[in-house]
Amino acid sequence: MAARNLFLDVDTGVDDALALGYAVLRDDADLLAVGTLAGNVDVENTTENTRRVLAYVGAGDIPVHRGASRPIARLHRDATYYHGLNGLGNAVFPDSATPLGPDRGPAALIRLARQFPGEITVVAVGPMTNIAIALNVCPDLPSMLNKFVIMGGAYRVPGNVTAHAEFNIWADPEAAEQVFATTFPGAIAVGLDVSHQTLLTRDHWQAARSTTEPFAQMLVKVCERSFVEQDQSTFALHDPLATAVALDQSMVRTARGNISVITTGPEEGRTVFADDPAGNWTIAESVDADRFVNEFLAAYGIG
């Protein structure tokens, strides 16, 4: 089977970095380009983080296109409390000599969708600002895509930034509301309902320290703050899971329906899912967590 053409839209913090590495490692994926935006940290850092991570794992030739510097209708709210001041758990990677892509993230997505009609799978693992901008510029974008997968939302579970909201949706709820109101081919929302079940453990991290492979060492570096400074016993693989689902949907069981977003008030950022067999979205409601984690570890060469 031919490799699936991927466009990743990222706000590169720690789990975004792991998703980038996973997309590069998968034989059934061809990562055509990456768009960046403000989310976990500001867009300057997310862009530089993306370039440096890709260069570190030997994929510095993949174009990186800087995108939105703020949400479409509000000020940027970051997650440095979790991802560290630079977004990569304060890990430092060498500079990348690869120039930035010539066009901005939303423009690059539109250009590639036109260049490869019906062939591109978009995996959006940050706020949906770039996607909303692309839709405003090119309303027929969905018809040119093969599949659209997001990491975002908390549908039948509590949020992770408030009691109700998952961070990516809360960071730009207006953009998320617009995207969820749009019909995309193969639209799947991978939320906290499943991603909180896919866990990298401290033992996995310790095992990665014993290898010199650059992908495993990248994982060691970006997760060190979580396992050492923050003394976590596990680390949720949110963004790598969404990437895996984009390549193999059998990893999850889904429910079809419609998604709306609360954009104001005490439940701001809450995703509301209504079951509807004729709905335009599916949500991942369960996951084969052991299968995914084992495949992730194997890809990274972690025994």
Let me know: does 127 contact 39? Beta carbons within 8 Å: yes
Question: Which residue positions in the chain have pLDDT lower than 50?
Answer: none
pLDDT the model gives residue 3: 79
Bridge partners of 252, per DSSP, are 287
Tokens of 220: 């060691």
Dihedral sign for Cα atoms in the order 285, 290, 291, 296: positive
Do residues 302 and 240 touch, judged by C-beta distance below 8 A? no
Q: How far is CA 103 from CA 53, 69, 112, 151, 259, in A?
A: 20, 14, 11, 24, 31
Domains in the chain: ranges and CATH: 4-299 (3.90.245.10)
Nearest CA to 50 among 105, 12, 97? 12
Residues 6+ apart with CB under 8 A from 247: 4, 26, 28, 29, 121
**Active-site annotation holder among 83, 196, 204, 238:** 238
The predicted-structure confidence for 217-249, as pLDDT tens digits, reads as follows 999 999 999 999 999 999 999 999 999 999 999
- pLDDT reported for residue 98: 87
Say how many C-beta atoms besides its own lie within 10 A of residue 85's C-beta: 12
DSSP string, the chain: -PPEEEEEEE--SHHHHHHHHHHHH-TTEEEEEEEE-SSSS-HHHHHHHHHHHHHHTT-TTS-EEE--SS-SSS-----HHHH-TTSSTT---PPP-SPPPSS-HHHHHHHHHHHSTTTEEEEE-S-SHHHHHHHHH-TTGGGGEEEEEEE---SSS--SSSSSB-HHHHHSHHHHHHHHTS--TTEEEE-HHHHTTSEEEHHHHHHHTT---HHHHHHHHHHHIIIIIS--SEEE-HHHHHHHHHH-GGGEEEEEEEEEE--SSTTTTBEEEEE-TT-SEEEEEEE-HHHHHHHHHHHTT--
pLDDT score for 218: 98
What is the structure's pLDDT at 59?
97
Residue 281: both structure tokens together: 């979205």
Identify whether 164 is a catalytic site residue: no
